Amino acid sequence: MRPDRPILYSFRRCPYAMRARLALHASGLDFEHRDILLRDKPASMLAASPKGTVPVLIRPDGSVLEESLDIMRWALGENDPDDWLGADPGDTQALIAMCDGTFKHHLDRYKYATRYDDADPDAHHAKAVELLYGLEDRLAASAQLTGPQVRLADIALFPFIRQFANADRSRFDALPLPALQAWLEAHVTSDRFAAIMRKQPLWQDPTPSN
pLDDT (tens digit per residue) in 42-69: 999 999 999 999 999 999 999 999 999 9
Question: Does residue 201 lie in a domain region?
Answer: no
Rounded Cα distance, 91 and 203, in Å: 38
Q: Mean pLDDT, the chain, as a whole number?
A: 95
Question: Does residue 200 lie in a domain region?
Answer: no
Instruction: Look up residue 175 and give its amino acid.
Output: L
Same domain, 57 and 114: no
CATH number at residue 39: 3.40.30.10
How many other C-beta atoms can be found within 10 angstroms of the C-beta atom of residue 91?
Answer: 14
Same domain, 75 and 118: no
Q: What is the reported pLDDT for 210?
A: 57
Bridge partners (DSSP) listed for residue 57: 8, 65
Domain boundary among 51, 83, 115: 83
Name the domain count of the chain.
2
Q: What is the reported pLDDT for 78?
A: 96
Q: For 43-48, which contacts have Cβ atoms below 8 Å and span 24 or more sequence positions?
A: 43/205, 44/205, 45/9, 48/9
Rounded Cα distance, 152 and 146, in Å: 9
CA distances from 119 to 85, 105, 115, 131 (A): 37, 11, 8, 18
Q: What is the reported pLDDT for 1?
A: 45
CATH number at residue 164: 1.20.1050.10
Question: Does residue 1 lie in a domain region?
Answer: no
Question: Does residue 24 lie in a domain region?
Answer: yes
Residues with Cβ < 8 Å from 157, sequence gap 6 or more? 95, 96, 99, 135, 145
Same domain, 78 and 106: no
Half-sphere exposure of 32 (CA within 13 A, CB side): 13
> pLDDT tens, 70-104?
999 999 999 999 999 987 777 999 999 999 999 99
Whether residue 106 contacts residue 127, with contact meaning beta carbons closer than 8 Å, is answered with yes
Q: What is the reported pLDDT for 207?
A: 83
Q: Can you list the positions of beta strands (E) in 11-92?
A: 32-35, 56-58, 64-65
Same domain, 71 and 101: no
pLDDT at 13 exceeding the cut of 90 = yes
> pLDDT tens, 143-187?
999 999 999 999 999 999 999 999 999 999 999 999 999 999 999
Mean pLDDT across the stretch 115-133? 97
Same domain, 47 and 120: no
Tell me which residue range forms the domain holding 38.
7-83
Mean pLDDT across the stretch 29-41? 95
pLDDT at 3 exceeding the cut of 80 = no
Q: What is the reported pLDDT for 192?
A: 98
> Looking at per-residue confidence, does 1 or 197 come out higher?
197
Helix (H, G, I), strand (E, B) or coil at 64: strand
Instruction: Look up residue 6 and give its amino acid.
Output: P
Q: Can you list the positions of beta strands (E) in the chain?
A: 7-10, 32-35, 56-58, 64-65
**Bond from prior residue into 55 cis (ω within 30 degrees of 0):** yes
> pLDDT tens, 101-112?
999 999 999 999
Q: Please state the pTM of the whole predicted model.
A: 0.95
Q: What is the reported pLDDT for 41?
A: 95
Same domain, 79 and 96: no
